[in-house]
Amino acid sequence: MSARVLFLSHAGVLGGAELSLLDLARGLGGRAHVTLFQDGPFRERLDAAGVGVGVMAASPGLLGVGRGGGALSSLRSVPGVLRQVGTVALQARAFDVLYANSQKAFVVAALAGPLARRPVVWHLRDLLTAEHFGAAHRRLVVALANGLAARVLANSEATAAAFVEAGGAPGKVRVVHNGIAPGPFDAVTEADVRQTRTALGLGPGSVVGVFSRLAQWKGQHVLVEALPRLPGVQALLVGEALFGEDAYAAELRTRAAALGVADRVVFAGFRADVPALMKACDVVAHTSVAAEPFGRVVVEGMLAARPVVAADAGGVREIVEDGRTGRLVRPGDPAALADAVAALLARPDAARRMAAAGRDAARSRFAVGAMVAAVAAEIDACAARGQRGDLAWGVGALNLHGGDGADAVRE
């Protein structure tokens, strides 16, 4: 069976989750259509890739609910959510499966699926922990998943474990690691690297790059604070503040000036040429101070054949074999980051061997084709089973008080 799938995503910007969805939709070809709740660069990339895409504008109430949102903010979003649910349910009837690529999209899909009598798949790309989300938020999405999702696809074992620990039903979860295509990294030439470094104004010294939106938990400040321990090393920060995090971006510049390293920090902003930028670096650093659910930039750094130094937490531990395919260091520790970077720069032959091992591991373990095949199999299995029950059944199965979710699973 080749089920038709309606992908839902609330975001119009481009991040790791959106790039992964782009690969999935492209890999599924004519079986897939993407509906976004916001317009933006993501829609443009889907269009350019030949993926069917439309925009169903969501209310500010839905889009404005944050990770730590409590009951009041959730209640304010209810009218907008219900309107979106009805519209999505009508659209979903032309498809076999509803597939939510984000948490906000999942709330809508979970309620729209039973109305349309279509199974719902949630691609969980976040760690449902207190470090990232408020208790009310965690209880809500876990209850919806236990009662109304046919399948929860987690992007790492760490993500799956956090879901279960939050009360998610273990039988609903399958782990599918993200896949990332090596072709764009292989295509970058040495001439491209030289041109990129010149265009960025980088000097002849070593460069350490961090590739992520500018956000406190992404930890760009850890590299900035490590620079005084790394004489002559330049920092390349690729990304911009996307979700109201402009104050942090300004703070980074202030901190760099206070430490006397502002002349060694390049803020490149959002860029589409990540492969060339990574290859312009001597080391790719992953600096998140909170655990990552996966760590896409870590795999990308490995595919760029650059030694990677990454924070030792979350899904990153499933990517990097410390000392062989990269280095793992204590999260949020500028001294540990500086020591690891300095050791790699002092031993270039060892760094090249590590980078080569990392590239080979990334190519074999995180292939796009494997990700698409695994997701397609889950979609087809859910479509074959069909939507059981209706919205009243699903709501009756919800377990809003947490727990192990066992009572919410009726297989």
Q: What pairs with residue 123 in β-bridges?
A: 153
**Dihedral angle computed from the Cα positions of residues 44, 45, 48 and 54, in that order, rounded to the nearest 10 degrees:** -50
> pTM (2 decimals)?
0.88
Residue 194 CA to residue 204 CA, distance in Å, equals: 10
Residue 367 CA to residue 362 CA, distance in Å, equals: 8
pLDDT (0 to 100) of residue 386:
77
Residue 262 CA to residue 252 CA, distance in Å, equals: 9
* Phi, psi (degrees; rounded to nearest 5) at 105: -65, -35
CA distances from 138 to 76, 250, 258 (A): 18, 31, 39
pLDDT (0 to 100) of residue 387:
55
Residue 275 CA to residue 272 CA, distance in Å, equals: 9
pLDDT (0 to 100) of residue 408:
30
The token duo for 75 is 């209640």
Show pLDDT as tens, one digit a residue, over the chain (411 residues). Answer: 689 999 999 989 888 899 999 999 999 999 999 999 999 999 999 999 999 999 998 877 666 555 555 443 454 566 768 889 999 999 999 999 999 999 999 999 999 999 999 999 999 999 999 988 999 999 999 999 999 999 999 999 999 999 999 999 999 999 999 999 999 999 999 999 999 999 999 999 999 999 999 999 999 999 999 999 999 999 999 999 877 788 999 999 999 999 999 999 999 999 989 999 999 999 999 999 999 999 999 999 999 999 999 999 999 999 999 999 999 999 999 999 999 999 999 999 999 999 999 999 999 999 999 999 999 999 999 999 875 434 443 444 444 444 433 333 222
CA distances from 407 to 43, 87, 110, 161, 199 (A): 39, 31, 18, 19, 59
Residue 145 CA to residue 142 CA, distance in Å, equals: 5
Q: What angle do CA 368, 369, 373 make, to 5 degrees?
A: 120
pLDDT (0 to 100) of residue 61:
61
